Structure 1
Amino acid sequence: MKKIHFIIPLTCLSILLIGCQSIESKETNHDNPQQSSNEQVEGEVMEVILSRSSLEDTIIFKDEASIKEFKDMISSSIKQDGIVNMSNPDYDIDIMFKKDKKQTYYLWVGENRQNGSLMKADDTHTIYTFDEETNKKISKLLQRKH
C-alpha cells in the first residue's frame, strides 16, 4: 500500500515533465529565424510597378529580365522573427498578373552593403530580408529607371 502512495505521485510527475519537454522542443523547431519565405510569385507577371508617396515617382518594369530580378528577390528572401517596427518603406511594389490579379509588397532598399527588406502588404507583422547581392541588383534596376 505504501508503494502505491509513492508510485502514483512519481508517475504524475514523470508525465508532467515529459509533456513540458515535448512542448519546448516543438516551439524551438517551429521558430527558425533562417527560414526562407518560400514565397513564390506564381503565374505570368505582366509588370512590376514601384511607387513612392508621390505619384511622380512611379516606375514600371515590363521587361522579362527586370521582372525576373524581382521574382528572385521575393523567392530568396528570409523570414525574420520578432516584432516588426519599421519606418515608411522606400517603395510599394505591385506585381500585376494576367486576369487582373495583384500582389503588393513594401520594399526597403539597403544602403552601403546592407541587406534589403521586404514585407507583404497583407501581413505587416512579418518582415523578410534579402542579401547584399540581391540588394545591389535591385538598386541597379532602380538607378537605370530614374
Structure 2
Amino acid sequence: MRKILIICMSLILFGCQSQENSSNEKAKDPASSTKKHKTLIINEDITRIEVSKSKGVNKIIFEDQESIQIFYDVISKAVREDGIVNMTDPDYYVMILYANNEQQNINVWVGESENKSTLMEADNTHTIYTVEEDFLSKLLEKNSQ
C-alpha cells in the first residue's frame, strides 16, 4: 500500500512540474506574440520606402504612390512560415517610414527562378514570411527606367 501511495504522489508531482516548465518556456519565447499572426503586419499610411543592398548605403527611395501601393499589396499578402529560422545576410534591407514618423525595418531574400522571396522583420529574427513574387526587383527595375 505504501509503494502505491509513493508512486501516485510521484506521478502527481511529475505531472505538475512538466506543466509548469511548459508554461515557462512559452513565456520566454520572444516570438510568441507574433505567432498568432499568419501575415506580416504593415500599416497603410506609408510615406516612404528606402531599399539598400547594405544597411543605409546607396539606398533607393520610393515616395510615389504607385510604388508604395505595389509594395503594400505584396507585403500584406506575405505568409508566416513555421520552423526554425537560420538565414544568411539578406539581399536587401528595407526601411518603411510611416506618416506618424515610425519606421519598420524588413530584411529581404529574393527568391531565385520561381522560388518564393523571404521577408523578416529586423526586430523579430524568429519569424520569416514568404511572398510569391520577386516584387523588389520589379520595383527596382521600375525605378531605374
Q: 1:84 aligns with which of 82, 86, 91?
A: 86
Between structure 1 and structure 2, the one with the greater Rg is: 1
Instruction: For 1:18 and 1:112, locate their aligned partners in 2 and report how far apart those are by CA, in whole Å.
Output: 50
**CA positional deviation for 1:138:** 3.6
Does 2:95 align with 1:128?
Answer: no
Which residue in 2 is equivalent to 1:70?
A: 71
Q: Using a 3 Å threshold, how does the CA distance of structure 1 residues 140 and 25 change in structure 2: closer, same or farther?
A: same
Does 2:7 align with 1:10?
Answer: yes
Matching residue's letter, 1:129: Y
Q: Using a 3 Å threshold, how does the CA distance of structure 1 residues 21 and 99 change in structure 2: closer, same or farther?
A: closer
Between Structure 1 and Structure 2, the one with more helix by share is: 1
Runs of 5+ consecutive residues of structure 1 not aligned to the other structure: none
Q: Using a 3 Å threshold, how does the CA distance of structure 1 residues 42 and 131 change in structure 2: closer, same or farther?
A: closer
SS in 2 for 1:71: helix
- Contact 1:52-1:91 within 8 A present in 2 as well: yes
SS in 2 for 1:143: helix
Query: What's the TM-score once normalised by structure 1's chain length?
Result: 0.68
Moved over 6 A (4+): 23-27
- Contact 2:116-2:130 within 8 A present in 1 as well: yes
SS in 1 for 2:108: strand
**CA positional deviation for 1:80:** 4.1
Per mean C-alpha deviation after superposition, the further-off stretch among 74-83 and 90-99 is 74-83
Equivalent pairs, count = 136
SS in 2 for 1:81: coil
Superposed CA RMSD: 3.5
Query: What's the TM-score once normalised by structure 2's chain length?
Result: 0.68
Matching residue's letter, 1:89: P
**CA positional deviation for 1:143:** 2.2
- Contact 1:36-1:79 within 8 A present in 2 as well: no
**CA positional deviation for 1:121:** 2.1
% identical aligned pairs: 26
Within a 5 Å distance, the mapping from 1:1-146 to structure 2 comes to 3=1, 5-16=2-13, 18-19=15-16, 22=19, 36-42=37-43, 44-53=45-54, 55-56=57-58, 58-75=59-76, 76-86=78-88, 88-123=89-124, 125-132=125-132, 135-146=133-144
Runs of 5+ consecutive residues of structure 2 not aligned to the other structure: none
**CA positional deviation for 1:22:** 4.8
Q: Using a 3 Å threshold, how does the CA distance of structure 1 residues 131 and 43 change in structure 2: closer, same or farther?
A: closer
